[in-house]
């Protein structure tokens, strides 16, 4: 932790949107509501709010109550006058090199058309539309069209598979699914529609499925249920004019499922008002957004990073955003760097896994391209190791671009701990709280642990971007996040962390049974239930172990049905089974066949013991172990 600081250059300091931190931070926590009211006032409201924060029903906080807004009115409608109208909103490039770009004017047209299509399918305010797509412009159009007419979207990451999709459709009780024939990955077509078809069989609530033609794969369409996107868009019903629905600030914008401690994914609910204010403010301040920026968030829209910082925050701030569907190193490890030069990208925001993955090919790939347009870099999803940080900083950023390491979660909606471009940096630390937030590292009683010691990361206050509830399970929301420190009103993040003598926060990792594999969030319980769904398996345990590229790799322990013998063949089959059920990202590194699993007397698997054994470490307190 005794790191040297990396200081911002004079140029970075001179152009900072926020030239000073400490004083402004103090103001933002002493007068939290005034601070957020000022930020909210930069957006367009149909009707101003009565109350900035309503905390009368903790922990179900509400923001900007009485206010009328629609996030689309801010992300699109208000940009349709003046010069922004013809500014590029989205530049999309496919793996094969196809380019499509949309001005704000064109984006509006596409969104209006699809909004009208959704309406014609009976989608109404309050409905939840499930979206399962590759990273193509239509994915953004579908999300934005839902929001425009007041329907909520539930985007399921296109890398997920049948079981994950089916479980999410079922939980949301979605009537409408928007999907595509498939995408491309490393030059090969991927197949989404047949996965969608299988998921619809498992969860039959879907009455209408709209499919985008993207990779040309042959697909099975069921009459009455299945429609082609392009067919619908060319009908008179798909008029390019559509009114934006006036929403209450607290109305639901989307639900996004994330993994937790049980096998059942949690649908976190975000709203039109507070979420718009929070994503726009954090994006503008932490990344010093300027009108001429070319912003590239190289995440997938299927995750919260894609929602907040690929789509909503940047569009509200009228940025030009880059979208790329494909592998970072296809056909060569220079793909991203070529795109940075080609589009004059000014800010690149990605994950430590992607950085490590590209770093391993060495410096010569980026050296061929002119990366001088870059002025800021960002990192998200997992702690960034100092080696990757330095490579990103020196080789990609030319020792010129501050690295904005942003700590946040699906639940927080936006950045909670992150530097501003003016903040002196320490590689591996997300530095300090964003405005309005008080962060603590505490013990079980909620008391601060001494400087430099590990404890539980908490947020001591509500913030506008916070998830409002877990869809269909408010009780679980209250208990899981706000229950441990209810007397103090702290939000428990589920991470462990340290704060050093300079007040810098160092995230250590998850404390629950959540794994961050290549920055993706997966629950051990989901992996275990996928394994157990295979006929050969009676019990399974999954743990995370350090992995050089992925940060964490999945390792599994499997008890077979009696009489079966675990061999190489079955190992491969089980790995493939998990990939088929959950998605490729969930593929285990190893499957070990065991005779028994370490359990507590109440029958809970002691993953801690498995982890210690695998790492050759002390197994710790075994007094609760059954045998």
Report the residue number, 333 or 427, with the smaller CB distance to ligand WT7.
427
Report the residue number, 229 or 324, with the smaller CB distance to ligand WT7.
324
Cβ at position 27, least distance to ligand WT7 in Å = 25
Among 267, 314, 326, 381, binds ligand WT7 (CB under 6 A): 381
* Segment lying near ligand WT7 (by CB under 6 A), choices 359-367, 387-395, 407-415, 434-442: 407-415
Instruction: Establish if 493 lies at the interface with ligand WT7 (CB under 6 A).
Output: yes
* Segment lying near ligand WT7 (by CB under 6 A), choices 16-24, 171-179, 215-223, 297-305: 297-305
Among 190, 258, 350, 469, binds ligand WT7 (CB under 6 A): 258
Among 71, 358, 404, 430, binds ligand WT7 (CB under 6 A): 430
Residues pairing with 252 in the sheet: 271
Among 260, 274, 301, 383, binds ligand WT7 (CB under 6 A): 383
Task: Sort 626 into a burial class: Cβ within 10 Å, 0-12 / 13-18 / 19+.
Answer: middle
The string of DSSP letters for 150-210 reads: TPEEEE--TTB-HHHHHHHHHHHT-SEEEEES--EETTEE---HHHHHHHHHHSTT--EEE
Residues pairing with 44 in the sheet: none
Among 35, 349, 408, 482, binds ligand WT7 (CB under 6 A): 408
Q: How many residues contact ligand WT7, by CB under 6 A? A: 22
Rounded Cα distance, 256 and 269, in Å: 7
Report the residue number, 244 or 351, with the smaller CB distance to ligand WT7.
351
Instruction: Establish if 113 lies at the interface with ligand WT7 (CB under 6 A).
Output: no
Helix (H/G/I), strand (E/B), else coil: 106: helix
**272-69-418 Cα angle (round to 5):** 45
Report the residue number, 192 or 493, with the smaller CB distance to ligand WT7.
493
Helices (H), 368-427: 386-391
Instruction: Establish if 257 lies at the interface with ligand WT7 (CB under 6 A).
Output: no
Cβ at position 329, least distance to ligand WT7 in Å = 21
Task: Sort 134 into a burial class: Cβ within 10 Å, 0-12 / 13-18 / 19+.
Answer: buried
Among 272, 516, 550, 577, binds ligand WT7 (CB under 6 A): 516
Cβ at position 599, least distance to ligand WT7 in Å = 26
Residue 70: name the closest of 250, 300, 217 by CA: 250
Helix (H/G/I), strand (E/B), else coil: 522: strand
Among 181, 250, 495, 528, binds ligand WT7 (CB under 6 A): 495
* Segment lying near ligand WT7 (by CB under 6 A), choices 35-43, 65-73, 302-310, 603-611: 302-310
Cβ proximity of 569 and 576 under 8 Å: no
Which residue is it, tokens 């009208």? 116
Instruction: Establish if 437 lies at the interface with ligand WT7 (CB under 6 A).
Output: no
Residue 471: name the closest of 258, 245, 307 by CA: 258
Rounded Cα distance, 50 and 41, in Å: 13
Among 176, 304, 311, 377, binds ligand WT7 (CB under 6 A): 304
Instruction: Establish if 293 lies at the interface with ligand WT7 (CB under 6 A).
Output: no
Give the number of other Cβ atoms within 10 Å of residue 99's Cβ.
10
Instruction: Establish if 491 lies at the interface with ligand WT7 (CB under 6 A).
Output: no
- CA distances 141 to 138, 148, 292, Å, are 5, 10, 23
Cβ at position 384, least distance to ligand WT7 in Å = 7
Rounded Cα distance, 529 and 589, in Å: 17
- CA distances 314 to 142, 432, 570, Å, are 17, 23, 47
Cβ at position 297, least distance to ligand WT7 in Å = 11
Residues that bind ligand WT7 (CB under 6 A): 258, 303-305, 380-383, 405-410, 430, 493-495, 507, 510, 516, 521
């Amino acid at each position: 932790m005794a790191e040297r600081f990396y200081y911002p250059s004079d140029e970075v300091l001179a152009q900072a949107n926020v030239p000073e931190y400490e004083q402004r931070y103090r103001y933002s926590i002493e007068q939290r509501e005034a601070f957020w009211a000022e930020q909210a006032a930069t957006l367009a409201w149909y009707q101003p709010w009565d109350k900035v924060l309503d905390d009368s029903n903790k922990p179900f906080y509400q923001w900007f109550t009485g206010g009328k807004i629609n996030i689309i009115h801010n992300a699109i409608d208000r940009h349709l006058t003046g010069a922004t109208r013809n500014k590029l909103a989205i530049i999309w490039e496919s793996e094969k090199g196809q380019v499509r770009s949309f001005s704000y004017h064109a984006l509006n047209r596409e969104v209006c058309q699809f909004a009208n299509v959704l309406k014609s399918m009976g989608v109404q305010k309050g409905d939840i539309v499930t979206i399962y797509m590759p990273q193509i412009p239509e994915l953004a159009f579908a999300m934005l069209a839902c929001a425009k007419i007041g329907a909520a979207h539930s985007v399921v990451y296109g890398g997920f598979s049948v079981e994950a999709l089916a479980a999410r459709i079922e939980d949301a009780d979605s009537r409408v699914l928007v999907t595509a024939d498939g995408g491309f990955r490393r030059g090969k077509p991927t197949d989404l529609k047949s996965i969608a078809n299988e998921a619809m069989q498992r969860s039959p609530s879907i009455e209408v499925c709209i499919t985008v033609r993207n990779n040309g794969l042959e697909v099975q369409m069921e009459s009455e249920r299945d429609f082609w996107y392009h067919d619908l868009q060319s009908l008179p019903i798909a008029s390019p004019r559509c009114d934006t629905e006036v929403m209450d600030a607290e109305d639901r914008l989307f639900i996004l499922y994330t993994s937790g401690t049980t096998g059942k994914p949690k649908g976190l609910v975000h709203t039109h008002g507070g979420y718009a204010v929070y994503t726009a403010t954090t994006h503008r301040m932490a990344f010093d957004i300027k009108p001429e920026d070319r912003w590239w968030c190289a995440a997938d829209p299927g995750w919260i990073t894609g929602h907040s910082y690929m789509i909503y925050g940047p569009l509200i701030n009228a940025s030009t955003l880059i979208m790329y569907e494909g592998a970072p190193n296809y056909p060569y490890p220079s793909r991203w760097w070529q795109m940075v030069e080609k589009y004059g990208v000014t800010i690149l925001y990605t994950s430590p896994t992607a950085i490590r993955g590209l770093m391993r090919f060495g410096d010569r790939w980026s050296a061929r391209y002119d990366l001088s347009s870059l002025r800021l870099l960002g990192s998200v999803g997992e702690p960034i190791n100092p080696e990757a940080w330095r490579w990103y900083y020196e080789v990609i950023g030319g020792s010129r671009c501050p690295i904005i390491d942003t700590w946040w979660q699906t639940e927080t909606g936006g950045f909670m701990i992150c530097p501003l471009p003016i903040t002196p940096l320490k590689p591996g630390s997300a530095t300090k709280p964003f405005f309005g937030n008080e962060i603590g590292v505490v013990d079980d009683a909620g008391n601060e642990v001494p400087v430099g010691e590990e404890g539980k990361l908490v947020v001591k206050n509500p913030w506008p971007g916070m998830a409002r509830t877990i869809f269909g399970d408010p009780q679980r929301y209250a208990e899981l996040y706000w229950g441990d420190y209810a007397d103090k009103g702290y939000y428990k993040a589920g991470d462990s962390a340290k704060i050093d003598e300079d007040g810098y926060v160092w995230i250590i990792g998850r404390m629950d049974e959540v794994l961050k594999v290549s920055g993706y969030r997966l629950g051990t319980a989901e992996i275990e239930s996928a394994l157990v769904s295979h006929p050969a398996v009676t019990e399974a345990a999954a743990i995370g172990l350090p992995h050089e590229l992925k940060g964490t790799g999945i390792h599994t322990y499997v008890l077979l049905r009696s009489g079966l013998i675990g061999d190489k063949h079955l190992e491969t089959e089980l790995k493939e089974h998990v990939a088929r059920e959950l998605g490729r990202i969930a593929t285990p590194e190893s499957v070990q066949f065991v005779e028994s699993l370490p359990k507590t007397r109440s029958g809970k698997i002691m993953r801690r013991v498995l982890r210690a054994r695998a790492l050759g470490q002390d197994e710790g307190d075994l007094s609760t172990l059954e045998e």
